[in-house]
Amino acid sequence: MRLQILCIGRMKSGPETTLLNHYTDRLSKSGRSLGITHVDIVALPESRAATVDLRKTDEAKALFEKFDSGGHLIALDEHGKDIDSVQFSNSVQSCLDSGVSTLAIAIGGPDGHGPELLKKANATVRFGKMTWPHQLVRVLAAEQLYRATTILSGHPYHRQ
């Protein structure tokens, strides 16, 4: 299975990028034994459309163009479900067991996701009620994917 973190907006060089690369590297290594073959971070530009609705529509279209339509899409959204790391790892395991080709996490732009993306997503989750900078959300997504692989492989990284 392939993992994707699909994002709107770009990362600047700095500590967030270093940390993202750290977790992505660890994820690539820890996921191999589980059948995770590839980890991709796909950064797409913010829409320059004049209205919020048009920006959300443009960004959703760009995200869908990079997503494998036969895959499993998790949208990160402030109105999503609160789940813990074990529940998230169970979702990853379910995708692995089902033979899903790609598990993707979609991170929207400053205006969030459009309704069409949220409707098509297999799940909508959030990293709490707070608003996070998109650079940190990428790091959180990579870390949670890494944590999921360690939970599934019995590695002691995650403590209960």
pLDDT tens per residue, range 29-50:
999 999 999 999 999 999 999 9
40, 71 contact by CB (below 8 A): no
pLDDT reported for residue 81: 97
State the average pLDDT over residues 70-88.
Answer: 96
State the average pLDDT over residues 14-39.
Answer: 95
| High-pLDDT (> 90) share of the chain, % | 88
Residue position matching structure tokens 């036969």: 70
Alpha-carbon torsion 61, 53, 115, 86, what sign? positive
pLDDT reported for residue 159: 79
pLDDT reported for residue 156: 85
> What CATH code is assigned to 2-153?
3.40.1280.10
Please list the alpha-helical segments (H only) found in 14-51. Answer: 15-31
- The closest alpha carbon to 58, from 106, 113, 107, belongs to 113
Under the banding of pLDDT at 50, 70 and 90, the label for residue 51 is: very high
Query: Cα–Cα distances in Å, from 126 out to 84, 85, 109?
Result: 10, 12, 14
pLDDT reported for residue 107: 97
CA–CA separation, 24 vs 26, rounded Å?
A: 5
- The closest alpha carbon to 73, from 101, 39, 53, belongs to 101
- The closest alpha carbon to 91, from 57, 130, 114, 121, belongs to 121
pLDDT reported for residue 142: 98
The DSSP letter of residue 37 is -
User: pTM to 2 decimals?
Assistant: 0.94
β-bridge pairing 102-107 and 72-82: parallel
CA–CA separation, 147 vs 84, rounded Å?
A: 11
pLDDT reported for residue 18: 96
Give tens-digit pLDDT for 107-125: 999 999 999 999 999 999 9
Query: Cα–Cα distances in Å, from 99 out to 2, 35, 71?
Result: 11, 10, 9
CA–CA separation, 104 vs 73, rounded Å?
A: 5
